[in-house]
Amino acid sequence: MSLQVQNDEARHKFYAVVDGHEAHIQYDHSGDVYNLKHTFVPEELRGHGVAEELVRTSLDQIKAQGAKFLPTCPFVQAFLKRHPEYREGMAHHHV
């Protein structure tokens, strides 16, 4: 699955709309660090790998900006356990 993930800086979220339903990751942003706080996928989209792809694409976008992230969200932490190559983008300080 390939998601069109967009970054809504004003509303502090990375999001994707699939079949009219929005999946998103809420964050706080300070300087070049995104604190990824909560991943939400509506029930209609669960079980299709949406959350996994949302996290992957959001982390790719953060990296492309030259920014770092904090994996506060438990789902993001679990993703990093499965995909350790993404850990290099982690920040080492809190925002």
Q: With pLDDT > 90 as the criterion, what percentage of the chain qualifies?
A: 92
| b/e per residue 23-51 (b: at least 16 CB within 10 A) | bbbbbeeeeebbbbbebebeeebeeeebb
In a domain, 14, yes or no: yes
In a domain, 1, yes or no: no
In a domain, 95, yes or no: no
* Range of the structural domain that residue 68 is part of: 6-89
Domains identified in the chain, total number: 1
The whole-number pLDDT of residue 1 equals: 62
In a domain, 39, yes or no: yes
Rg (CA), the chain: 12
In a domain, 94, yes or no: no
Whole-model pTM? 0.93
In a domain, 83, yes or no: yes
Mean pLDDT (10-residue bins), the chain, 95 residues: 90 96 97 97 95 97 97 97 96 67
* Domain containing residue 52: CATH number: 3.40.630.30
The whole-number pLDDT of residue 2 equals: 75
Q: In this structure, are strands 21-30 and 33-40 parallel, antiparallel, or unpaired?
A: antiparallel
